[in-house]
A and B are shown apart, each in its own frame.
Chain A
Amino acid sequence: MRALNLVPWRERQRQTVLQRWQIGGLLAAAVTFAMVFAIDHWLANANAAHEANMSAWQLQQQALQPKLQDAALWQTRHRQAQQVQQAWPQWQQQRWQAWRSFIDFLSVPPRGLQLSQVEWRDGQWRLQVRAFNAAQVQHWQDQLQAHGIAVKAQPTPLSSQLWRCPQGRLWDLHTFELSSPAPQGVRS
């Protein structure tokens, strides 16, 4: 069955679809705008409430401050906190120096030696090294010197003990102490 219709229904259908898209687009834009506005409004309210809380806490703290200044425990804690605050940059620097020095030591592999103790105190290194003889320690020390790492000239022997190797042979194992020179201005 033919269904020819000379009322311009195709054009109207196209216009209706276009109009629906336009209305849909406008609605989507309006909904998006409303959502963004609502979220913005909610965030602004939350921020204002937070700031109000903060100012209330500050006021409360300011009100409590005169009372705390009279308390002995508060005075002690306050002084300790100030000391920690003052010493903090220096501690940070020392920690950084210790870390750098440790990396420097490890950059020269102690072949044939056993590092039994590494200690950093007041800007100075103290190492305890186990070796069969002083020449091995001296060799590592020379390598360290070649890499620009200053270690005291003479290793100090501390103790010695017998050590049996896996092949059953007995060795005399000595413990030496090495230390770095004290840096300027740092108590060794």
Chain B
Amino acid sequence: MRRLFPRSIRRSLGVVVQPDGLALAQASAPVKGYLHIQRWHWLALQDAPKTHQSLLTGWPDPAWLRNARHKAGCQAQDAALSIEDSRLRRFSLTLQSGLHVRDQVKAIEAELTRQLPWPLADTVWDFHTLPAPDGATFANQTQRPAWLVAAMQAQSVQHVEVLATQRAWVAACEHWCRAAGLWLMRLEPAWQAEARWQLQSSEVSRQAAQGMAPQLQARAGGLALGVLAP
């Protein structure tokens, strides 16, 4: 059960499931203070019981995770998980610019219905509007003439990036988190969490995670930060 009134200090937990263990990163956001990773923990899975959930093969039993994270001192309940690229469908779509969000959603749904191998009702998806490229940078990067860049920028379209996955897998993740005493707030690709870590992490947070692989640290830390400051 979530609290009706939020606490003065918000905490979040980034969870990265690996074949041999679980990386946990707990971030905290005091009302008057800086967002930082408060606690890092690695839980080895060699003796842990596995979950019976068929979609989450290799994941630990949620009851075991509940006990283990309490022992590790992770009190946060708002959690974020990463999703592997193999489970994701990624699309770059071109839409007419100036559309209302409702119309954008309709257009994307129509496109997903056409392109996805499973029904749209079994899909969870989200999108992000890509910013228009800066003229000079775009011209330098693509070695295109200035008139072509100007013409490409003048066209009234916008590009959106869409990620989609199967609803059953998302529901399984949510159920697993709930059983572990967590509330799944974010489910995002690992590369997005890593990018966030590169942009938002502080030196203090990086030093506290000594001993953990840098990529794992970036992924778990980025997930935890994403719950508090998406």
Partners in one complex: yes
Q: Chain A residues in contact with chain B, CB under 8 A?
A: 1-10
Q: Closest B residue to A9 by CB, please name it.
A: B126
How far does the alpha carbon of A37 sit from the alpha carbon of B184 in the complex, in Å? 46
**Within 8 Å CB of A8, what residues of B?**
124, 167, 170
18 A–B pairs (Cβ distance < 8 Å), ordered by A: A1-B196, A2-B195, A3-B226, A4-B127, A4-B128, A4-B161, A4-B188, A5-B126, A5-B186, A5-B187, A6-B125, A6-B126, A6-B163, A6-B187, A7-B184, A7-B185, A8-B167, A8-B170
- Give min CB distance, B127 to chain A, whole Å: 7
How far does the alpha carbon of A112 sit from the alpha carbon of B199 in the complex, in Å? 111
**Within 8 Å CB of A1, what residues of B?**
195-196, 199
Q: Closest A residue to B126 by CB, please name it.
A: A4
Q: Closest A residue to B170 by CB, please name it.
A: A6
B192 within 8 Å of A (CB atoms): yes
B83 within 8 Å of A (CB atoms): yes
How far does the alpha carbon of A138 sit from the alpha carbon of B73 in the complex, in Å? 126
- Give min CB distance, B132 to chain A, whole Å: 15
**Within 8 Å CB of A2, what residues of B?**
128, 161, 192, 195
A-contact bits for B181-195, CB 8 A (1 contact / 0 none): 000111111001001
- Give min CB distance, A12 to chain B, whole Å: 11
B117 within 8 Å of A (CB atoms): no
- Closest A-B pairs by Cβ, 7 of them: A6-B187, A3-B230, A4-B126, A2-B128, A7-B187, A8-B124, A5-B186
Contact at A6–B128, with CB atoms within 8 Å?
no
How far does the alpha carbon of A34 sit from the alpha carbon of B225 in the complex, in Å? 48
How far does the alpha carbon of A6 sit from the alpha carbon of B192 in the complex, in Å? 12
- Give min CB distance, B116 to chain A, whole Å: 14
Contact at B196–A5, with CB atoms within 8 Å?
no
Q: Chain B residues in contact with chain A, CB under 8 A?
A: 83, 105, 124-128, 161, 163, 165, 167, 170, 174, 184-189, 192, 195-196, 199, 226, 230
Centre residue among A5, A6, A8 by max chain B CB count within 10 A:
A6
How far does the alpha carbon of A133 sit from the alpha carbon of B89 in the complex, in Å? 119
How far does the alpha carbon of A9 sit from the alpha carbon of B128 in the complex, in Å? 14
Contact at B196–A6, with CB atoms within 8 Å?
no
**Within 8 Å CB of A3, what residues of B?**
128, 226, 230
How far does the alpha carbon of A131 sit from the alpha carbon of B206 in the complex, in Å? 125
**Within 8 Å CB of A9, what residues of B?**
126
**Within 8 Å CB of A5, what residues of B?**
126, 186-188, 230
Centre residue among A1, A4, A9, A10 by max chain B CB count within 10 A:
A4
How far does the alpha carbon of A9 sit from the alpha carbon of B184 in the complex, in Å? 11
Contact at B195–A7, with CB atoms within 8 Å?
no
**Within 8 Å CB of B184, what residues of A?**
7
How far does the alpha carbon of A9 sit from the alpha carbon of B196 in the complex, in Å? 20
- Give min CB distance, A6 to chain B, whole Å: 4
**Within 8 Å CB of A6, what residues of B?**
83, 124-126, 163, 165, 170, 187-188
- Give min CB distance, B206 to chain A, whole Å: 19
- Give min CB distance, A92 to chain B, whole Å: 73
**Within 8 Å CB of B125, what residues of A?**
6
Contact at B189–A4, with CB atoms within 8 Å?
yes
**Within 8 Å CB of B186, what residues of A?**
5, 7
How far does the alpha carbon of A184 sit from the alpha carbon of B105 in the complex, in Å? 94
**Within 8 Å CB of A7, what residues of B?**
124, 170, 174, 184-187
- Give min CB distance, B222 to chain A, whole Å: 11
Q: Closest B residue to A8 by CB, please name it.
A: B124
**Within 8 Å CB of B170, what residues of A?**
6-8
**Within 8 Å CB of B124, what residues of A?**
6-8
A4-B127, A5-B230 given; name 4 further pairs at CB < 8 Å. Answer: A4-B188, A5-B188, A6-B188, A7-B170
